[in-house]
Homo-oligomer: A and B are copies of this chain.
Amino acid sequence: MASILPASNRPMRPDKNAYEGKRSVYVKNPYLDAMDEDILYHLDLGTKTHNLPAMFGDVKFVCVGGSPNRMKAFAQFMHKELQLEGDGEDIEDICAGTDRYCMFKTGPVLSISHGMGIPSISIMLHELIKLLHHARCCDVTIIRIGTSGGIGIAPGSVVITDTAVDSFFKPRFEQIVLDNVVTRSTELDKELAADLLSCSREIPNFPTLIGHTMCTYDFYEGQGRLDGALCSFSQEKKLDYLRRAHKAGVRNIEMESTVFAAMCGLCGLRAAVVCVTLLDRLESDQINLSHDVLVEYQQRPQLLISNFIKKQLGLCSQM
Contacts and interface: CB of A to CB of B under 8 A. Distances in A.
12 contacts: A31-B231, A38-B286, A39-B287, A41-B286, A41-B287, A117-B120, A125-B229, A126-B220, A177-B233, A178-B224, A217-B217, A230-B266
Contact of A221 (B38, B42, B67, B176): B176
A122 B218 contact: yes
Interface in A256-294: 263, 266-267, 286-288
A129 B42 CA distance: 29
Interface in A9-62: 27-32, 35, 37-39, 41-42
A119 B122 contact: no
A62 B176 CA distance: 31
A90 interface: no
| Majority DSSP secondary structure for residues of A touching B | loop
Contacts of A229: 27-29, 32, 125-127, 129-130, 133, 263, 267
Q: Which of A126, A176, A178 has most B Cβ within 10 Å?
A: A178
A44 B175 CA distance: 33
A176 B216 contact: yes
A66 to B, nearest CB: 8
B176 A217 contact: yes
Q: Top 10 A-B pairs ranked by shortest CB distance?
A: A117-B119, A129-B229, A29-B231, A178-B241, A177-B221, A126-B228, A69-B99, A126-B229, A116-B120, A115-B115
Interface string A110-153: 00000111111011011101100100000000000000000000
Nearest to A225: B126
A179 interface: yes
A215 to B, nearest CB: 10
A117 B116 CA distance: 8
Q: Which of A66, A116, A221, A267 has most B Cβ within 10 Å?
A: A116
A98 to B, nearest CB: 8
Nearest to A71: B99
